[in-house]
Amino acid sequence: MNAARIEIRRLATADAVAYRDLRLAALRDSPEAFGSTFERESAEPLAWFRHRLGNGLVFGAFRSFELLGIAGFVRREGEKEAHKGLLVGMYVRPDARDAGIGRQLIEAVIGYARQQVEVIQLSVVSGNERARRLYAGLGFVEYGIEKNSLKQRGHYYDEILMALDLMRDGDSDGRMPRADGARCEERSSSTAVPS
């Protein structure tokens, strides 16, 4: 897949059908990567997904008119936390992976977030090495671990907490030197774009 042919843009309410389809595929195919579940969201009407796009910020990666990947951004609520934002709901269709689409989506989020907040946070399930490496390559630094953060059907998952300090990085596009390095979890009270 040629990443140069990919268009990254903010999803609008008119994209709700494609967004719902990809979001449900993500929850079905990578259940351990997200805080929400397929069972919960597949029961929601289309209007619920439209509302989410209208009230939150989700970037989509398109090839022609096909939606291949999504990534959301949520600014934290409250005066004392409004300088922080969250990268959430990151997903690229399996047949479109390893072509730089995930990276392009995160760069779009960073570009937007730079105008809004000082730091971008995310959380990723500890076994998701692929996502951890991608985030690390874009400058996100691991700052903690939440043991037993998720529990599903009696199984616990630890989450790695990562952050990108937008005040510290030197260049204009948010890139940092690659490091060796995934659910993106919603840790905010805001629920416009859940993980």
Asked whether the beta carbons of 72 and 7 are under 8 A apart, the reply is no
Alpha-carbon gap, residue 176 to 55, rounded angstroms: 31
Is 22 a binding residue for ligand COA by CB under 6 A? The answer is: no
Rg, C-alpha atoms of the chain: 16
Output 13 or 97, the one with its CB closest to ligand COA.
97
Kindly determine how many residues on this chain lie close enough to bind ligand COA according to the rule CB under 6 A. 23
Give the list of residues 6+ apart from residue 47 with CB closer than 8 angstroms, or none: none
Is 8 a binding residue for ligand COA by CB under 6 A? The answer is: no
Q: Name the DSSP letter for residue 44.
A: S
Site string for ligand COA, 134-163 (x = CB under 6 A): x--x--------------------------
Is 19 a binding residue for ligand COA by CB under 6 A? The answer is: no
Minimum separation from the CB atom of position 172 to ligand COA (A) = 20
Other CB atoms within 10 A of residue 25 CB: 14
Q: Which stretch binds ligand COA (CB under 6 A): 6-14, 73-81, 133-141, 162-170?
A: 133-141
Is 193 a binding residue for ligand COA by CB under 6 A? The answer is: no
Options 18, 27, 86, 92; binder of ligand COA; rule CB under 6 A: 92
Q: What DSSP assignment string belongs to 1-17?
A: --GGG-EEEE--GGGHH
Helical segments of the chain, H only:
16-29, 38-41, 46-55, 101-113, 129-137
Output 3 or 24, the one with its CB closest to ligand COA.
3
Which positions touch ligand COA (CB under 6 A)?
3, 30, 33, 90-92, 97-103, 124, 128, 130-131, 133-134, 137, 182-184
